[in-house]
Amino acid sequence: MSMTEDSRYKFLTGSVVPRPIALVTSLSEEGVLNAAPFSQYVIVSVTPPLLAFVAHDLPGGAKDTVRNVLATKTFVINSVTESMAEQVQQCSQLYPPSVSEVDEVGFTTVPSLHIRPARIAQSPLQFECRLERTVEFGGTGSRTTMIVGEVLAVHSAAGVVSGHRVDHSRLSPLGRIAGRAYCRTGEVIHV
Ligand SMILES: Cc1cc2nc3c(=O)[nH]c(=O)nc-3n(C[C@H](O)[C@H](O)[C@H](O)COP(=O)(O)O)c2cc1C
């Protein structure tokens, strides 16, 4: 693809749309709870249950989320609803590793059952994950890391999950289009 890296990023992320959003919470070795959104987010396997997200390096190196997950081997994927949009956008700003985005944007937390990173209370569906593997792509300056996690436990708000069924009208997931453009999923068509 004969485009600059910046154009290629904008073109690919503007083409593969809409994308679900994983708000990933992870703990630094110093114990700071980090929260960052990732819309390059996918189901990798059902048995075992594996979810993955992809993080691009910043010019200075790996993002806090990647460093935390490599160090602690655990993280939570918190689903994102429409009502969380502004706070999620705010979480994506550059904060130093010593600052918790969770506190900065006014989210509250609930302890996880199997791992140390906490969950976001405002998220109606949360997955506790243990690092299964990382896969790296690209080279110096344009490195991308796919982080694959095995789901150890799922938590849902009252009325959102019944057996294996998820009530999407209650989940109200937010989709990412590009930049600051998001979409709602309220209007469902059956075909
Ligand atoms: C909705 C949304 C989705 C995003 N998806 C990704 C993504 O899939 N991969 C990525 O590297 N950055 C993505 N970003 C940017 C990161 O969230 C941002 O770089 C963040 O500051 C990383 O935080 P951290 O350094 O605390 O890990 C996204 C931002 C937003 C607002």
pLDDT of the residue at 139:
85
pLDDT digits (tens, 9 = 90+) for 29-52: 999 999 999 999 999 999 999 999
Where along the chain do its domains lie? 5-183
d(CA 89, ligand 1 centre) in Å: 9
Give the separation between CA 134 and CA 100, rounded to whole angstroms.
24
- Long-range CB contacts for residues 156-159, cutoff 8 Å, separation at least 24: 156/124, 156/125, 156/126, 157/124, 157/125
**Segments of the chain with pLDDT less than 70:** none
Q: Best substitution site from 6, 30, 42, 63 to test ligand 1's pocket, by max atoms within 8 Å of Cβ?
A: 63
Fold of 5-183: Pnp Oxidase; Chain A (2.30.110)
Ligand 1 binding pocket, CB closer than 6 Å: 21, 34, 36-40, 54-56, 63-65, 88-89, 92, 94, 176
Q: Are 37 and 21 in contact (CB under 8 A)?
A: yes
